[in-house]
Amino acid sequence: MEIAGDELRALVDEAIEDDPTGLAEVAKVRPDLIAPFHLELVDGEVWWAADLYRAMTEQTAAELVRRIDGGDDEHAVALAHVLAAGRTETAVSAVRRWFADPPAWTAGLGRPLEHLGHVGGWELTATGDLRLLTSEITNALVPDGHKPAVSGGALAGACGWCGMALWRLLDGAGPLVATCIRCGSYTTYFTEAGEFASENERPEFLGRDADGWDLPDGAPLTVGESRPTPWAGNAWHDGGSTLGGSPDWIQDAEFPSCPRCARTMPYVGMVNGGDLWADYGEGCFYLFHDPVCGLSAAVYQQS
């Protein structure tokens, strides 16, 4: 992507004025172009989207840590999320230090401090080591009738709650990840080798009727070309489905914990609603797999 300096400047101004969507699109493929504006965006209190801060420099990260440690309690939580999104060595060191001796502001994080890095695709282990939850390699998932499909199609397994056939979200190019199109739209949905997992916990609010729910009718997807960056997948638009890389969260980062070992499950890809359905689809299924326990999970988000 090439963008003129005045165009980029205009997008930064729009973001500060409360519309970061244009700048976020640039960040998906050229996050380095936005790095020089990071502190200006922080000063403008542009906390969303996290993608804006992916290519953060160590110098910018050090300034954010200085502000947090300097007593900016009003903005500490927001600054910490922005810092974590950059996934710099400075950020990891700061979170490790706060984990050992939590400051008062960490009570407002809304998640365990060791999971603060989820917004940037990482976390700290119980021993303080860095653990990556995403991958640098990413490919588009595209319809192509001339290549074997890796996403799409009903499986033999059925939902243990409503009886609908499970839907194949990913297979072949990675672990088998499936979901119930109905029930999996309301809760984290665990499967094992394409079968309903006994560890699933049925939400009390989930109804039992299957009326009005059809299986997707979009074309099966296969592995396409590499995307330019790990963040270039798109949860909002047709053609955004992706194998590998990092999730394009519609809402907050939501990495599930494996119900067998309690470790955070690594991310393996996403399939958005526009690619699932031929005419209209919304939202996105985010896909995860624990290679040790053998469980897969699908998390659905929509605006």
Q: What is the pLDDT of residue 173?
A: 66
Averaged over 92-107, what is the pLDDT? Answer: 95
List for the chain the helix, strand, coil content (%; round to 5). Answer: 30, 20, 50
Helical (H) or strand (E) element with 67 = helix 58-69
At residue 49, the pLDDT reads 87
Q: What does the pLDDT look like over 236-256, one tens digit per residue?
A: 999 999 999 999 999 999 999
- 116: tokens are 């603060």
What pLDDT, on a 0 to 100 scale, did the predictor assign at position 206? 86
- What integer pLDDT is reported at residue 126 of this predicted model? 87
> pLDDT tens digit string along 135-144?
999 999 999 9
pLDDT digits (tens, 9 = 90+) for 79-98: 999 999 999 999 999 999 99
pLDDT value at position 51? 87
- Going from the C-alpha of 118 to that of each of 184, 199, 230, 234, the distances in angstroms are 22, 23, 15, 18
What average pLDDT does the segment 186-197 reach? 97
Rounded Cα distance between 255 and 156, Å, is 27
- Residue 211 confidence (pLDDT): 63
Residue 210 has pLDDT above 70, yes or no: no
